[in-house]
Amino acid sequence: MPASKKGYIDIDAGANIMAEWHLYKSELLWCGLLAVMPLLSYGVKQFNFPGLQDWPKDLLSDNLSWLVRALAATTVIALTIAAAAPFTEGGTETKIGNGAEIVMVLDRSGSMSENLVRQDPLIQKKSTTRIQASRDVLLKFLDQRQADTFGLVAFNASAIAVAPLSSDRELARAALKSAESYSSGNTALSQALEVGLNYFKDRPLTATRVLLLVSDGDAKIKTEEKDVLQQLFHQYQVQLMWIYVQDDDDHFLDVADLSRMDGAIDTDVALHQSFQSLGVPYSAFEVSSKPGLQRAIAEISRMTNQSTRYEFRLPRQDFASYFYWLALILLCLLFWLKQHEITQWVSK
């Protein structure tokens, strides 16, 4: 099976194409009754000429006259069908490839504007902020995963559906580049996850589904919010991956005893444990540097690089132009016949 430029492999290409005909303006078919008129009336001037009774019957002329009538009727029918705008649905084309449907949920709270790693005060080199590093790595991730479909949700105090889940890579890139950190109160993590999960609503399950959360944590999920998220995760069969962007090389998420923690860290551990209790496939990656982000993305690529099936919607095919061309050809033929028609008896 031939592979396409983006890593897809065609299977049963065209097998799902619908062959049913449809008419955009079916009510115009009533105009086709006008095709009866050329059959009832020849529409050519007739001249009286005495003494033709003894002439032999001219079968050729009779046949030609009925041919002209048939051409005129066919022209009317062709124009009627063309005006009704016939078309066939494009159907779908099935392809398989290695990839996933990934909705990126990007934290743009004020804390994401902080430096990705702590620096020695004596070092004057400017450090990359958490959101800048996250954007850079995710943009490279987009370029590497040509067979994936991507969507983006950004959130701080509220969630924003920035880019829908689609194969439009430029749209996802533009959405990522526009994401900037902005501090405005509490972090609406639960709302952002719910918005991202609803991206999968009414979509056929043909690929691995991933909700990729990129955040520095410091958020809480209430019990009622957790119940809603758990239901949506199971309903849409989505796995959760959290890239925990922090400012320390120590690892905190797997600490079982929250009493030993304090401040934002214990909130993040509680959030991690809430994710674990959802009962869905879940992975967390603690990163404190841009190379760490890159390693996390590489691991996510490995985990989601599975064979998936994609349904591509093909454009419909319009056939009105073919009937217009047929009508034009018939009209030209009728015009030519008209030019060679005897319009008057010439006596000599």
- pLDDT 10s digits, 269-311: 888 888 989 999 998 888 877 787 888 888 887 777 666 565 6
221 — pLDDT class (breaks 50, 70, 90): confident
Q: Which long-range contacts (CB under 8 A, 24 or more apart) does 336-341 make?
A: 337/68, 337/71, 341/44
Give percent above pLDDT 90 in the chain.
18
Residue partners of 32: CB distance under 8 A and separation at least 6: 76, 77, 80, 81
- Is the model's pLDDT at 23 over the cut of 50? yes
Residue 261 pLDDT greater than 70, yes or no: no
> Which of the listed CATH numbers 3.10.20.30, 3.90.440.10, 3.40.50.410, 3.20.20.70 matches domain 98-307?
3.40.50.410
- Residue 265's pLDDT is what? 60
What phi, psi does 275 have (nearest 5°)? -65, -40
How many CB atoms are closer than 10 A to CB 24? Answer: 12
Residue 63's pLDDT is 76
Query: Full-prediction pTM beyond 0.75?
Result: no
In angstroms, the CA 269 to CA 189 distance is 15
Q: Given a cut of 50, is residue 86 above it in pLDDT?
A: yes
What ranges do the domains of the chain cover? Answer: 9-89+315-339, 98-307
Name residue 240's beta-bridge partners. 211, 282
